[in-house]
Amino acid sequence: MTGKLDGRVALVSGSGRGIGREIALKLASEGARLVINDLDAGPANETAEAVRAMGAEAVVCAGSALGRKLNVSVPLLLVLAGVAGSFLPFIPPIDLNPELVLVGLLPPLLYAAALRTSLFDFGSNRRAIGLLSVGYVIFGTLAVGFVVWWLFPEIPLAAAIALGAVVAPPDAVAATAIARKVGMPRRIVTILEGESLVNDATALVCLRAALAAIAGTVSAAGVAGGFVLAAGGGLVVGLAAAYVLTELRKRIRNVAINTSTSLMAPFVAYLPAEAIHASGVLAVVVTGLVMGTKAPSMPNGAARLSQRSNWNTVQFLLENSVFLLIGLQVRTIIEGIQDDSLGAGRIWVGCGVILLAVLLLRPVWVFPATYLPRLIPAVRRKDPAPPWQFAAIVSWAGMRGVVTLAAVLVLPADLEHRSVLILAANFILTGVFFSL
């Protein structure tokens, strides 16, 4: 079979039924080879058989259904499916564009998570969220950076700290996908989601500072100014976007147009913020929190129902795609280190040590951050100390995802040992899932 997509591989989530199935069949008719993903194995296999009947190739990844049967986290299964798929002979090496992830996938995923997060709960847990999303990210960035530099002195300290910034922030996608499915207490889910919604902004500012240091143009004033601009600009743009979009949607009676406006919201917030060098991530989060809070007061009930349904679908499709992409990159990453002067054995051992450091550094921060503030009587009276299991769960639930996946790829192409840093980031990303 030949067509416009001959030789290309398409990953289609939710392709067992409806629109997803039709998209898969259309792509197959144009010559694409398909990775079929769906909640249920039966419909996914039926779609795959229909694709094969057309003369195209298809493999099935029904991770969600299998995960429920095996009591294994769906994200982990999808990552493993991606790893296995990366070594299939008909799937070409994955060359992921970081802009596709940071601009195309991250804003809608953050927005979908923010819509479901209670602004009241977020505010009630602001101290814990702040200590994790800002304090822990800075601590983790520096600590991991020095560990990497200690293991590989050949790698510049600035580049090592850049890797620390990449792997420091737990991810909103992973936190939401796993925390809710394993039945964590509501407050812990709120803190994890709040942390993962905000910490990307901190991590990306740290990454920009590290990249500037690599280029030799960093200064303390520049880093401080970057944090202020990222936070302040992101907050202002997010509030402005939420106000404009809310007022606009109140006046739109057509359900389709109203829903389309909702789907544009993350980009309406993200792009202007990034244009002024503020935090697009924070702008999206603020917009989502505000609009999620105002949604019940929207006059168009049909539009509210449509928004909820469509964002659930978008989140499902993008989440599955992200976790599969993580695994599909493995072959390319492994091949990238074959000729590195550091040596394969030393690199793999170093990646294991860095992963161990990442796992240990989180409880090193979380336990003191949980209990030290409560030594202040006023804080203790208002918010008594939780049991140690609370801090243990928060320490354990440090999943990485979208930002780690994409941010490591923005490292300069001419950076020495770049492939090692990319491998380390993805090794940590995958290894953390195995620790769950």
Q: What is the b/e burial string over 316-354, where b = at least 16 CB atoms within 10 angstroms of the residue's CB?
A: bbbbbbbbbbbbbbbbbbbebbeebebeeeebeebbeeb
Q: State the Cα–Cα distance between residues 39 and 64, nearest whole angstrom.
A: 5
Strands 58-61 and 9-13: unpaired
Same domain (yes/no): 22, 113: no
As a whole number of Å, the CA-based R_g of the chain is 22
DSSP string, 17-32: SHHHHHHHHHHHHTT-
61: β partners: 37
**CB 147 within 8 Å of CB 163:** no
Give the end of a domain, one of 34, 56, 71: 71
Helix 220-251 vs helix 280-294: angle between axes, to the nearest 10 degrees? Answer: 30
- The domain that holds 41 is classified in CATH as 3.40.50.720
CA within 13 Å, CB half, 68: 7
Q: State the Cα–Cα distance between residues 243 and 268, nearest whole angstrom.
A: 12
CB neighbours of residue 376 within 10 Å: 10
In a domain, 391, yes or no: no
Sign of the four-CA dihedral 300, 301, 306, 311? positive
**CB 66 within 8 Å of CB 77:** yes
**CB 168 within 8 Å of CB 144:** yes
**CB 325 within 8 Å of CB 399:** no
Same domain (yes/no): 53, 177: no
In a domain, 27, yes or no: yes
User: Both tokens of residue 330?
Assistant: 């493995």
Sign of the four-CA dihedral 3, 5, 8, 9? negative
Same domain (yes/no): 260, 120: yes
Strands ordered across the beta sheet of 9-13: 9-13, 33-37, 58-61
Same domain (yes/no): 113, 247: yes
Cα–Cα nearest to 235, from 185, 200, 190, 287: 287
Same domain (yes/no): 122, 202: yes
pLDDT digits over 9-36, tens only? Answer: 777 776 777 677 878 888 888 888 877 8
User: Both tokens of residue 232?
Assistant: 């302040």
pLDDT at 353: 93
Same domain (yes/no): 130, 260: yes
Which secondary structure element, helix H or strand E, spans residue 12, and what is its range?
strand 9-13
Residues 6+ apart with CB under 8 A from 91: 9, 33, 35, 85, 328
Please state the pTM of the whole predicted model: 0.73
Most confident of 167-176, 344-353, 391-400: 344-353
293: β partners: none
**CB 285 within 8 Å of CB 117:** no
Give the end of a domain, one of 17, 36, 71: 71
Q: State the Cα–Cα distance between residues 56 and 63, nearest whole angstrom.
A: 22
Cα–Cα nearest to 170, from 202, 215, 147: 202
Same domain (yes/no): 131, 272: yes
In a domain, 184, yes or no: yes
Helices first, then strands: H and E counts in the chain: 22, 3
Place of tokens 């389309």: 260
In a domain, 357, yes or no: no
pLDDT digits over 159-197, tens only? Answer: 999 999 988 887 655 555 555 555 566 777 778 878 878
Q: How far is CA 291 from CA 49, 231, 258, 274, 345, in A?
A: 42, 19, 13, 20, 50
Q: What is the maximum span of the chain, computed from C-alpha positions, in angstroms?
A: 73
In a domain, 402, yes or no: no
In a domain, 334, yes or no: no
Provide mean pLDDT across the span 312-330.
76
In a domain, 429, yes or no: no
- For the chain, report the end-to-end CA distance as a whole number of angstroms: 43
Give the end of a domain, one of 52, 71, 90: 71
In a domain, 247, yes or no: yes
- The CA dihedral of 425, 174, 74, 98, to the nearest 10 degrees, is -50
Same domain (yes/no): 179, 56: no
pLDDT at 178: 57
* Domain with 36 in it: 9-71
Residues 6+ apart with CB under 8 A from 98: 406, 407, 409, 410
Number of domains in the chain: 2
pLDDT band at 303 (very low <50, low <70, confident <90, very high): low
Most confident of 201-205, 253-257, 318-322, 328-332: 201-205
Same domain (yes/no): 24, 125: no
Same domain (yes/no): 107, 48: no
pLDDT at 67: 55
Q: How far is CA 382 from CA 104, 111, 129, 166, 195, in A?
A: 41, 31, 16, 35, 21
Same domain (yes/no): 64, 108: no
Same domain (yes/no): 191, 233: yes
pLDDT digits over 21-79, tens only? Answer: 878 888 888 888 877 876 666 677 778 888 888 878 887 766 555 555 555 556 667 77
pLDDT band at 270 (very low <50, low <70, confident <90, very high): very high
**CB 283 within 8 Å of CB 108:** no
